[in-house]
Every structure is written in C-alpha cells, then in structure tokens.
Chains A and B, each alone.
Chain A
Amino acid sequence: MKTENKAVDIDRNRGDFAYPEVHIRDAGRGLSEKTIHYISDVKEDPDWVREFRLRGLKTFLEKPLPTHWASKDLEAIDFDKIRYYLAPGSGAKRSWEEVPEDIKRTFERLGIPEQERKFLAGVEAQFDSEAVYSNIKKAVGEQGVIFVGSTEGLKNHPEIFRKWFGKVIPIGDNKFSALNSAVFSGGSFIYVPPGVKVKHPLQAYFRINAESFGQFERTLIIADEGSEVTYMEGCTAPKFETVALHSAVVELVALKGAKLQYITVQNWSSNVFNLVTKRGLAHEDAEIKWIDCNIGSRLTMKYPGVVLKGRKARGEVLSIALANNGQHQDTGAKMIHAADETTSNIISKSISIGTGRATYRGLVHVPKHLKHCKNNTECDALLINSTSRTDTYPAITVRGTGNAVQHEASVSQVSSEQIFYMQQRGLTKAQAMSLSVNGFVNDLVRQFPMEYSVELKRLIELEMEGSVG
C-alpha cells in the first residue's frame, strides 16, 4: 500500500474535553425491551433488525459476566446506569459544513477532517451513538465502493448487509457481543466490489462525548473477490468520573483472494471499559490482517480473530497493548484454522507500567484432519518497574501431522540502570521510557503504515509523560 509520508495530525492529548450535550434522542438510563423499542423506533429499523435486537437482549440477560476467567473488575459496570443511545437527531452529513457546530468543533480539535484531505480515501465520524459525518472521495465511490454508517448500510444495501451481518460473530458469541447486538448503533458498513483495490485507507473516528455513556458501534466490512482495502479506526473519550462502556462488534469478510487490513489505535481515557469483539472470515487465498494498538481504558478485553475458512487463507494479528498505572489490558488473538494450507501469524507486544497489568490470551486451533497448516505466535512483554505484572495464556491446540506451530514468549524489564544510562545522555525519565518502549515495539511498528507508526510513537510519548508525572 502506498500512502503519503505525512503524519496524521491528531493530538490525542487534547482528547480530554467535552462540549455540552446536544442530544435530541436519548433512550435514558438502563436496559430493557423498552430501550430496544425506543432505539428501533428512532432508527426506523426494519422488523428483522428489531427482532435481532430483542434476541440480543435476551441472550445478554441470560449470559453471566465472564468473571470466572476474566477480571472481576467487570462487576464495576452498572448496566442500569449506562445510557445506551444518544444522538443529535439528524443523520450523517456528507459535507463538513452541515455538521452541527459543537460536534464540528469537537472533531476539529481532534484534527478531523484535516487528515481526510491529507491521505484518506474516506472518513466517517461518530459522535456518541450516531455517525455525524461520512464521506468518501468521489473517485473511490465511482469504483462502486460503499462506505456508510451501519444504519444506512442495512437500509440501503440489505442484499449484501443481511447476508453477512451477525454471521461472523453470532449474537451469543459472548455477553458483550449480545449486548452490542441488542443496542448497536453507528459503526461502518463497507463493501468493496470484486477486483477493486482501494489505494488509500478508509477511516472512522469514534468519539464518546457524554457521561456514563455506552458506545456500541457495529462494523461490517466485505472485501469481494480479489479486492483490497485498509480500514483504520481511532477512538477517544473525555475523562469523566463515571464508568463509560465501549462495546463494539466488528465483522470482516474477505472473499476469495481479497486482502483486508484493519488498523485500530485506541486511546481511551481511564474510565472506559473497552469490551470489543472482532473477527474476520477469510475465504480461499484471502488475507485478513488486524493491527491493534490499545492504549488507555480502565479494562480492555479484546481478542481479534480470523477464521481461516478457505484453502491457503492467511490471518495475522499484530498487537500492542500499553497498560499504564491502574489499567488492565487483557488482549490477545484467535486463529481458527478450518482449511488445509492455511497460515496464521500472531505477534503481541505488551508494556506494563507501574501498577498496570497486561494479559495475553491466545487461541490457535488446528483440527486433526487438516494438512499443511502453519501458525507462528510470538508474545513479548516489557515491564517498566517492579509492580507491573504480565500473564500469558497461550492456548494452542494443534492436532494432526504435517501442521507446524511455533511459539515464543519473552518477558523483559526496563531496569533503573537503563533509565539512568539514558538520563545521563540528557533524556528525561519520560523520554527515556518512551525510547525504551519504542525500541521494544519498533520491529513490529515498522510493519504498520507510516502515518500510524508516527502517531503511535507520539501517543506512547504522551502516555509516558503522564506516567512519571
């Protein structure tokens, strides 16, 4: 992929601000069938969507919190206090001028849409529950590429949307996918026609503005045969005292020979629970690559996966998680091999600072009857100061002969001696720490598109400045 060598100019340090709320649509606090009907009425859902939501609610209520294996901190979420739907009351604008003033100011402070002009093929901006702006470059639209919000997608393109929606990640996959299925709003719908190679990335930007809010975007991307597309998402929220919830579902479908790359850089404030389900379905000879960078949040639980459904399909997860003081990054990857000659690659790097905690959970599954499958898993942890902790749970089940798995794990420390050495050369403690962290993630970041590696580097610097205070 060729992109301009220019940094994305988003100053995430300035993400911590909020304008007064401008919502006309508000489902109130708490979750019941009434909430679902409110959302469905406001969004004028077709019946099948309303039913889908109700099934989601039922499953959500039935499923227990996964505290038997995951963090007990999940119990801090009071589902009765969360606000599940907030919207300004008008649809997404195609022209930036039409976006309401307050919202426009928010995104302008975050550097959007200046960056659209720079190197993106299209942008969608979501403010609380709904997309407020979405636009793709004319040339891209003319190739038949669809890039709209999920609501618009299900209404205007039902023939493609319905075929794949909820198929990669069923309602009952986990408690939070069920919750998302019940109250989803916003997110992107993308369709790339056969053979179309979208040169520049498409980007969505998710912003939580309201307090005690739950953002439940739903993204569905379909890369038709032989097509190529890169999607990038960025997220921020202001820091409120109360808990905010971000629980997205992202489904990717790469049809025969398609290449789909999904890049996330999240920088949530430390009151956000970030519980996201992401999975892709790779058909024959297709390639799905997740690049996932998690910075911030109180607790993140996220394990992007690829189901390698067709022969020679390839799946990759490259992830970086940074757990600062008081934060828990519970991240990992899932690779489900379901055809011969499929290959998967997982590289996970985590950094724990102070009381921050990073957990890696992996799942690699290769059933007995498959031949010539390969997996490579590397997880490296970096600890900065002694109270940090890191856990690795790499579940690898590879059966049968002729399948190859390679697993490597390492834990390293940034010692006070190293920090002192760097300080002696004139770097501040924060600069020394970010240099070590950048050194640790360097070989991985080199594989990211330039814009993102530059931005990531800056985010790490900001995070380190905060951590030495």
Chain B
Amino acid sequence: MKSRSQSARIALYLKPLFMNELRVENLHVAIGDQQIVRGLSLAVPRGEVHAIMGPNGSGKSTLAKVMAGHPDYHVTKGKITMDGEDLLALEPDDRARKGLFLAFQYPSEIPGVTIANFLRAALAARLPEGEELEATDYYAKLYEKMELLGMDRSFTSRAVNEGFSGGEKKRTEILQLAMLEPKYGVLDETDSGLDIDALKTVAHGVNTLRGSNIGILLITHYQRILNYIVPDHVHVMVQGRIVRSGGKDLALELEERGYDWARAGADEPVLTR
C-alpha cells in the first residue's frame, strides 16, 4: 500500500491527457445532401462561459442538437469530445448521463408526465442500479431551484411544457439544468421569449450555477442576455462556421456593426483556442 503523501506526489508528475472541456473539431454536418455545419471548431473548458452568436439559419441549433446526438443529423466529418471521450459514439441518453445538457430552443411537450415525475425519472436514471432517490431530499432541492428561478411550486404538478408559455418553457429548461447538474450546458436561445424581468431571473439562475464545475455554451442572437450572463469568450457563427472569436466586447462590436462585418474577411474558418 502506498501512503497518501506518496500517491499525492505521483499525481504531481501525471499531466492530464486531455483538458476538461467540451471540444468540437472540424465538424461537418449534413441533413439530406445539404451541408449545414462546415468545418466548425470550438472548445469550451469547464469553468468558462462561451457565447455563440449568429444570424437565423446559420446552424446554431444544428450544432447544439448534434452535440446531444439528435438522430436526424449526419456528421460527415470531424469530432466532438467531452473531457476527452468521443461523444459521437454514444447514444443521446448516455451523453446526457455523462454530463451533457441541452436547453432546447423549442422544448417538447410531454403530455401527462408532470415536471416532478419527469425530473425524478431523469435523476433516478443517473443512479447506480438498485439505488433510489430520497423523496424528501429531492423535493427540497426541487423547491429550492424553483425558488431560484422564480417559479411557482404549482408547476411541479403540471405536465412538462404542456400549455406552457414560451417564457415558462425556457424557465423550465433552466430548472432542469439546475436539477441535473451537468458538466456542460448548451443553452440554445434561452433568452428568446423571455420578458425583461424573466430574463434577469433566468440570468441570475444561470449565474448562480456558474462555477468551476460547469462549462456553458450560450447560443443567442442578441447581445442583451450577455449583459446579464457575461461570457468569457464570444464566437460568431455564419453559414456553419465560426468566423470570428474574441472577448465579451466582440458581442458589442457585432451589435454595432452587424453580421456582414463579421462575415467580411472571414472566408477561412477560424480555429479558436
């Protein structure tokens, strides 16, 4: 048996083989024979918040769904890894249980299944076989997160997204993010459909979750949300590629100058980091 100090010393010599990051390398995605993502590269380390901004139809949601393993999209080239592990080889549910979360731009409705039951099933799916969720702890956590996001407790007994307003759906996505505590969260236009007060609440929720344990990729059209959730990096995506990357000020510059500016002089894909 090695002593504790010995193994600590050994650990010092071991360099990690990979970064703790969500990494996309030279990704090409097609649907049918239409290329939607064309040579996109990106890396979001844990502990950072990256924003992707891009015009309608530039392929932002496609990127998000491909990361999550949506069956409709065909990856023709490139790699996606999470903490060094090949994500493309995994089923969507495996990716989720290993720590990838996608807040959908258009969340599905699940008739008859309450939020409480849905989240409970999702959490239970993460437990080792034979272990069960402790009901009191579960509800305590659920109510705490709902309070953080300014949601009424009555929501727990409503069916997931059924008859929810656009804003309520977005809040529910972030509630799920908060409950499932993923390693990486991809938030696809969580800001759209939120009024200004809701935006502040949701941003506050995300900022509370922010920390060294989670990497966040924030997809948005508008600079507005970035005033509340301040990103470490901003990427501009046009026609399936990252055309510019920079600090948080890039978002302001983009707002001022528009996407044409971003597009100009960026014919070659920019490799970030």
Contacts and interface: CB of A to CB of B under 8 A. Distances in A.
A426 B133 CA distance: 15
Interface in B84-123: 91-93, 96-97, 101-102, 104, 107-113, 117-119, 121-122
A422 B117 CA distance: 12
B126 A440 contact: no
Interface string A411-431: 010011110111111111101
A439 interface: yes
A443 B110 contact: no
B251 interface: no
Given A435-B118, A439-B159, A424 B92 contact: yes
A435 B121 contact: yes
B110 A439 contact: yes
A412 B111 contact: yes
Interface string B131-157: 000000000000000000000000000
Contacts of A385: none
B108 A435 contact: no
Nearest to B109: A418
Task: Label chain A's interface by main secondary structure.
Answer: helix
A427 to B, nearest CB: 5
Nearest to A412: B111
A439 B68 CA distance: 24
A415 B108 contact: yes
B121 A431 contact: yes
A426 B71 CA distance: 15
A424 B102 contact: yes
B68 A426 contact: no
Given A418-B110, A439-B112, A425 B180 contact: yes
Contact of B125 (A420, A426, A439, A442): A426
Contacts of B122: 425-427
B126 to A, nearest CB: 6
Contacts of B112: 436, 438-443
A134 B189 CA distance: 64
Interface string B61-84: 000000011111000000000000
B176 interface: yes
A423 B108 CA distance: 12
B113 A427 contact: no
B113 A421 contact: no
A440 B162 CA distance: 13
A12 to B, nearest CB: 20
A440 B111 CA distance: 7
A377 B110 CA distance: 24
Contacts of B111: 412, 436, 439-440
B52 to A, nearest CB: 19
Q: How large is the interface on B (under 10, 10 to 19, 20 to 34, 35 or more residues)?
A: 20 to 34
Interface in A422-469: 422-429, 431-432, 435-436, 438-443
Interface string A122-162: 00000000000000000000000000000000000000000
Contacts of A423: 69, 91-93, 96
A443 B180 CA distance: 27
Contact of B68 (A415, A416, A424, A440): A424
A169 B126 CA distance: 52
A219 B117 CA distance: 39
A436 B68 CA distance: 20
A436 B162 CA distance: 13
A168 B96 CA distance: 56
Contacts of B104: 421, 424
A421 B110 contact: yes
Most buried by B among A420, A425, A439, A441: A425
Contacts of B113: 435-436, 438-439, 442
Contacts of A418: 108-110
Contacts of B118: 422, 425, 435
Contacts of B180: 425-426
B108 A426 contact: no
Contacts of A424: 68-69, 92-93, 96, 101-102, 104
Contacts of A416: 71-72
Contacts of B96: 423-426
B108 A417 contact: yes
Nearest to A429: B93
A420 B66 CA distance: 12
Contact of B93 (A415, A426, A436): A426
Given A425-B118, A425-B176, A426-B126, 6 more contacts: A416-B72, A420-B70, A420-B92, A426-B93, A426-B97, A439-B111
Interface of A: 412, 415-418, 420-429, 431-432, 435-436, 438-443
14 contacts: A418-B109, A420-B68, A423-B91, A423-B96, A424-B69, A425-B119, A426-B96, A426-B97, A426-B122, A426-B126, A428-B91, A428-B125, A439-B111, A442-B112
